[in-house]
Amino acid sequence: MFISYKNNVMKISARNQIKGTIVEVKPGVVTAKVIIDIGGGNRLSSVITMDSVEDLNLQPGDEVVAFIKSTEVMIGKE
């Protein structure tokens, strides 16, 4: 997946880059919760700083990309 930075194309190492649409932004004091619909009946819950919510001007309806580092994904098996 290609990203660009400033005027050039940038790739970022995070292996998990999932497109979705914001369905909820709940502001707190330091952090905020953002819920993203990624399709296929799945939603992602994200806790980021209020600084980021304001800097990116995140709002319901925004099309976004969720980034998750591989080392943060656990697996459960029946």
Provide the minimum distance between the beta carbon of 30 and a second copy in the complex, in angstroms, as a whole number: 4
Rule CB under 8 A: is residue 61 a binding residue for a second copy? no
Rule CB under 8 A: is residue 9 a binding residue for a second copy? yes
- Collapsing DSSP states into helix, strand and coil, what is residue 35? strand
* Angstrom distance (rounded) from CA 40 to CA 8: 32
Rule CB under 8 A: is residue 62 a binding residue for a second copy? yes
Cβ contacts of residue 47 below 8 Å, gap of 6+? 31, 32, 33, 34
Residues that bind a second copy (CB under 8 A): 2-18, 26-34, 36, 38-40, 42, 44-49, 51-52, 55-58, 62-78
